[in-house]
Structure 1
Amino acid sequence: MRIATFPRAHHSAARPSLFTGPKCAVAVPVHDALHLDTLLQASLTPSVRTIGYRTGPQVECPPVSLAGVVLHMDDGRFLLRIGERPQRDPGEDARLAHVLACHGLRLLERRAADVQREPVFSNARAVWAHAGRQVSLMDRLRIGMALDEYGPQPIAELERRICPGRDVLAAVCALACENLLRLDIETAALGARTLVFGS
């Protein structure tokens, strides 16, 4: 699993970095930090099944590119647009929706303020800071059995059950990045009270 890294400013013309993870159908090009944060959050969102990428086409009327990140969610496939929403009148919205529907898509527009909403913004970054961390087979089994037996529970309770003194927070974050369990990153800052759910 590889998270995008960004080149220094004087290399800004370099090719985009790539984001990959268990939900990614392909390696997804990432052009800036806001796009990366959006993908980190999408990868941890239960309603997002897969993250894909389209290369086109460019439609002339209305003028819109159908290239970009596609989120396959519980309620459909969405072409993701990040940034300030362009001004469109109702007729333009209807034409755009029709063109997207012809390609089996709907539009999901997220402003910078949506992506940077707390606590999700900081929590997703904190979880992904543990991506690739080695979690032993025994710890994976202990965590899985505790969740199967007792259901969703706070990290502190999970730690008490499986083995006090272990860094359970780091372990569950790493497993969340592997899409093997879910964390409640919406309610409060990541910590001992964060709820852990089985996959």
Structure 2
Amino acid sequence: MRSNQFRNGSTAPVFFSSRKCKVAIPVRHILLRDALQQASLEPSVRAIRYRQTPDLHGTQASLTGVVIDRIDGDFLLVVCETRPRRSAEELVRLGSILERNGLRLLERDAFDIRREPLFSNARTVWSYERYHVPLNDRLRIAAVLAEDGPQSIIEIEERACPTCDIIAAVCAMACEDLLEFNIQEAPLGPSSMVRGR
């Protein structure tokens, strides 16, 4: 990922990509990067894509942005510091535009994105994105999960006996969409349950 500075001075990627992304997603705000990291680790998310729609049916409304393809439908992701207050008329108009384009609204604000333990867990997982997991360790971890189903990280370590750091390995493999675990309910650690994809 290429890096650049956001206006607030923090360094973050200019583009976000994961195995679930159809193309690299332009990231103009650190909150969007955090929301994309979280979405990429969500088991219900099948794909993340970017759409550019400069003009819709002659209206001024634009649906340019990130679309999250979940098992329950396609959602236009809107990330903001605080959720805007909309009149009933604005909500109807927005709903109509989204519906015509086969979308629903997924609005996430800073409070929602920074909710713990989701925020810290996603950041931890993505901090291992570039961690090299040797092929033999990948195969051992995958075999243990295929044979015995979901297990805690410590159980995988005991059964697979990897030569690398097990936490780093499962995090890196989750970034590759090879493994999944629940990052919303408890801090990530040795007792976290892991499932194969």
* TM-score of the alignment, normalized to the shorter chain, above 0.5: yes
1:54 to 2:36 alignment: no
Regions of 4+ moved over 6 Å: none
Displacement of 1:165 after TM fit?
A: 6.8
Say yes or no: does 1:152 pair with 2:150. yes
Change (3 A) 1:9 1:62: closer
Q: Distance in 2 between matches of 1:38 and 1:110?
A: 8
Shift of 1:58: 3.8
Segments of structure 2 that go 5 or more residues without pairing to the other structure are: none
Secondary structure in 1 matching 2:66: strand
C-alpha distance in 1, partners of 2:30/2:8? Answer: 16
**1:153, 1:122 → 2: CA distance?**
22
One-letter code aligned to 2:126: W
Are 1:44 and 2:46 counterparts? Answer: no
Q: Secondary structure at the match of 1:122?
A: helix
Distance in 2 of aligned mates of 1:171 and 1:122: 18
Match of 2:187 among 177, 186, 189: 189
Measured on the aligned residues, the alpha-carbon RMSD in Å equals: 2.2
CA contact (8 A) 1:50 1:73 kept: yes
Instruction: Tell which deviates more after alignment, 58-67 or 38-47.
Output: 58-67
**3-state DSSP of counterpart to 2:170:** helix
Q: Secondary structure at the residue paired with 1:175? A: helix
- Give the aligned residue type for 1:57: P
Per-residue CA deviation, residues 122-181 of structure 1 (Å, 9 max, x unaligned), is: 000000111021111111111011111111111011111111774111100000000001
Report percent identity of matched pairs: 49
Aligned length: 194
Q: Distance in 1 between matches of 2:8 and 2:95?
A: 39
| SS of the residue 1:56 aligns to | coil
Gaps of 5+ in 1: none
Deviations 1:52-92 (A, max 9, x none): 11112345997532101111111111111111222222232
Partner of 2:66: 69
- Secondary structure of 1:86's aligned partner: coil
* TM-score normalized by the length of structure 2: 0.90
Alignment match, 1:110: 108
Match of 2:95 in 1: 97
> What letter is aligned with 2:129?
A
**What's the counterpart of residue 134 of structure 1?**
132
Q: Residue 39 of structure 1: CA displacement?
A: 0.5
